[in-house]
Amino acid sequence: MDLQLQNKVIIVSGGAKGIGEGIVMLLAKEGAIPIIVGRNESDNLKTVNAVKELGGESFQVTAELTDPNASAYAIKTIIKEYGKIDGLVNNAGVNDGVGLETGGYEAFMASLHKNLVHYYLMAHFALPALKKSKGAIVNISSKTAETGQGNTSAYAAANGGRNALTREWAVELLKYGIRVNAIIVAECWTPLYEKWITSLPDPEEKLKSIVAKIPLENRMTTSEEIAAATAFLLSSRSSHTTGQLIHVDGGYVHLDRALANA
């Protein structure tokens, strides 16, 4: 299916690694121009160069999105370079383990800036350009807002906010023809996930116990599968889809866990 994304300028925050990188590479294959916004210039450029090696076009803005001024700077830079924005993927963030017992005010607020505040700010500053293009917004979110996980209050709260903002923006932006949806991720294999697994006492056994609970095929979701759903929601092929929380998780959140061992 042609997603009709040719020459569409689409921002992907945290687009240098993991899920973000998967989204960037797929968008490039669809003919879009993915713009990476992230804190590490060398990581950003590595992915930009990977796109260019495949014959695509990409661009990067180095920005620390926990800084409230960084989102305005990123959008201004992209508009100066391309003159338009056709889509925004809010993706940057990390499950940083700020719990109820183990956290505190400073850590909780820092985590919200790391995982939620820039979602709002990127959309806020990109909105004038998105109005012109009737673009789309996709928020990458996590199961933690719905299932809980333990010892991750701030990240769960941030993802609850991501989900709520998805529905709120879908309503507010109806009059502009801007669609807003979210992809809910459960167990997806990324470099950060691998780093977490390998930090545990028995990584192999832990991973085995996790995939055993994923109903569809007893395996992790791939970043490419998240990317495919994201690209569809950005495209005109999903022209009547807005305000949706799409779970790309092999049935992890909603299907009976007994099915995983059936």
45-87 pLDDT per residue, tens: 999 999 999 999 999 999 999 999 999 999 999 999 999 999 9
Answer yes or no: are the C-beta atoms of 216 and 173 closer than 8 Å: no
The question of whether 155 is a catalytic residue gets the answer yes
112-123 pLDDT per residue, tens: 999 999 999 999
With a cut of 90, say whether residue 261 has pLDDT above it.
no
Distance CA 209, CA 10 (A): 37
164-210 pLDDT per residue, tens: 999 999 999 999 999 999 999 999 999 888 988 999 999 999 999 99
What pLDDT shows up at residue 132?
98
3-state secondary structure 44-98: HHHHHHHHHHCCCCCEEEECCCCCCCHHHHHHHHHHHHHCCCCEEEECCCCCCCC
Q: Which of 210, 205, 211, 123 has the alpha carbon at shortest distance from 169?
A: 123
What pLDDT shows up at residue 260?
66
Say which of 119, 155, 193, 252 is annotated catalytic: 155
In this prediction, residues 19-33 reach a mean pLDDT of 98
With a cut of 70, say whether residue 259 has pLDDT above it.
yes
206-253 pLDDT per residue, tens: 999 999 999 999 999 999 999 999 999 999 999 999 999 999 999 999
